[in-house]
Amino acid sequence: MQTRFDNVVRMDGTIAVEQTNKVLRNTYMMLGLTMIPTVIGAFFGMSLNFAFAAQHPFMFAIGMLAVMMGLFYGINANRDSGMGVVLLLLLTGFMGVMLGPILQVALHLRNGGEIIGLAAGGTGAIFLTLAGIATTTKKDFSFLGKFLMVGIVLLILASLANIFFQIPALALTLSAVAVLLFSGFLLFDISRIVNGGETNYVMATLSVYLDIYNIFINLLQLLMALMGERD
């Protein structure tokens, strides 16, 4: 016999599923929108002179992180308003500009355009695969959280150290580890959305965007090192 309590539970469950689907749908739509300022920023960044970054890599990295942290704070503080969307698009434009140095290096290779295309295609394939797994299985991958956080801290420390030591083999290893690590973050973040752990599409988009961005840039570095043809 069906009770009023059963109806309420069923209704609440339906509402929760609809809300989750709405957040996921809005996240994917917003993610597509963020690619526009990223591409525009990347084209602009390729025309800039990054001599200061080459001469003072540590200072450049610190400055870049400071700008990013400021925008992260602003996005989080305005996550429920239109300003959060504006700041998110501003951040993605800035991230596009910051692709300038590596794209400049890639395009100086004889097969640079092909490598960039492969990196973009590989990133897209990773995203579609992991998003499909998280969405279809609806499995909770929150158990990856602590492992991924420890991994990202170690990766940042090792990357900062390699700015001074400039060991090519270590840089290659770090790029490979980063691709795996941010693929794990991508699975973790989409799983959180699917399972109702993230209910704000602005913050969800930010998390997924950063995962994709880092997968792309590290995959590009790997492909440049392994496939790059110099004149």
pLDDT number for residue 2:
52
Query: Confidence class of residue 197 from pLDDT cuts 50, 70 and 90?
Result: confident
Six-digit token pair at 146? 């602590």
pLDDT number for residue 11:
42
- Domain segments of the chain: what residues? 4-227
pLDDT number for residue 10:
47
Mean pLDDT of 77-92: 95
Task: Using alpha carbons only, give the angle 195, 75, 136 rounded to the nearest 5 degrees.
Answer: 20
Residue 131: name the closest of 181, 176, 185 by CA: 185
Six-digit token pair at 192? 């959180």
167 residue type, one letter: I
The whole model's pTM is what? Answer: 0.88
Q: Is 48 left (phi over 0), alpha (psi -120 to 50) or beta?
A: beta
pLDDT number for residue 9:
42
Mean model confidence pLDDT for the chain: 88
Tally of CB atoms within 10 A around 25: 11
Mean pLDDT of 83-92: 96
Query: Confidence class of residue 58 from pLDDT cuts 50, 70 and 90?
Result: confident
Query: Confidence class of residue 201 from pLDDT cuts 50, 70 and 90?
Result: very high
Tally of CB atoms within 10 A around 187: 21
Asked whether 142 and 197 are in contact (CB, 8 A), the reply is yes
